[in-house]
A and B are shown apart, each in its own frame.
Chain A
């Protein structure tokens, strides 16, 4: 057969960023979860718009723990960024180091989240305001817990093995998801803590 051939045998067997399919899968998850957060925020604003007093008969949530946690979350982006960079350079030791530090931040913000729940100044079953605030905070909490757990598992893998170069891509994409969990918190913080103090 005199067909021309396209020889792909020299192509690499992994690649970073949007070149690799794991990025697309992670992005898909980010878009889905982000849309869920957006829906909850819209529900909050809708209920607020229907209500003459907001929060109805309550003090707004205490600013302290939410703001502290926001700072911890934002600070965690530093070791997260360094993890991603180390992964892109296939530097196993640095990846292990920075991931461990990031997970330390993760422990902190999971613990502070408990104090946030306790200082919301409303229970979930008191009224619609309480329901939507608890659900919004609860959804985000589910994300910080699951991101923490899956990052622990990934870090464990990097110590125990067996691993290949493509696992560095997984680390980079995990970092991207961590960014999402942190950055999605910002509008949620604004809605839970600042919106009830405005207008």
Chain B
């Protein structure tokens, strides 16, 4: 991949990582939850055949862990470094970019907390119901 040397990409790799962390923090919650839903639905047939549910519980735990990690990663990226080397292109000031990053950091935490709750809501039927009708 040829290196993009535009001024936008002349910021160091840390900035790219920061952007990735912010987007991951916001979107990991819903993406992991949706994946878990599909996996749970498919595994519910397996649970009925084998009469086991341990793998459903494991899936929930793994999902919660992933979302929590992503949320924390996004949040810490939102607090970000305070020493970007050069002013950005006006009227996009450093403040603009920093405020936007912090906003995404808050979004990461809120999104992750909410989707952990949604993930746990799906754990309820696994605990309460029997595996086959």
Contacts and interface: CB of A to CB of B under 8 A. Distances in A.
B91 interface: yes
A85 B2 contact: yes
Interface of B: 2, 4, 6, 8, 45, 90-91
Contacts of B2: 85, 88-89
Contacts of A49: 45
A19 B6 contact: yes
B85 to A, nearest CB: 21
Q: Is the interface of A mostly helix, strand, loop or mixed?
A: helix
Contacts of A85: 2
Contacts of B4: 16-17, 19
12 contacts: A6-B90, A6-B91, A15-B6, A16-B4, A17-B4, A19-B4, A19-B6, A19-B8, A49-B45, A85-B2, A88-B2, A89-B2
Interface in A1-39: 6, 15-17, 19
6 nearest A-B pairs in the assembled complex, by CB-CB distance: A88-B2, A6-B90, A6-B91, A17-B4, A85-B2, A19-B6
A89 B45 CA distance: 54
Nearest to B89: A6
Q: Say which size band chain A's interface belongs to.
A: under 10
Nearest to B90: A6
A89 B8 CA distance: 19
Nearest to A42: B38
A31 to B, nearest CB: 14
Interface in A83-109: 85, 88-89
A17 B45 CA distance: 44
Nearest to B8: A19
A16 B4 CA distance: 9
Q: In this complex, which of B6, B8, B90, B91 has the most chain A Cβ atoms within 10 angstroms of its Cβ?
A: B6
Contacts of A19: 4, 6, 8
Nearest to A45: B42
Contacts of A89: 2
A88 B91 CA distance: 30
Given A16-B4, A89-B2, 10 more contacts: A6-B90, A6-B91, A15-B6, A17-B4, A19-B4, A19-B6, A19-B8, A49-B45, A85-B2, A88-B2
B90 to A, nearest CB: 6
Contacts of B90: 6
Contacts of B8: 19
Contacts of B91: 6
A132 B62 CA distance: 34
A88 B90 CA distance: 28
A88 B45 CA distance: 50
B89 to A, nearest CB: 8
B63 to A, nearest CB: 20
A9 to B, nearest CB: 14
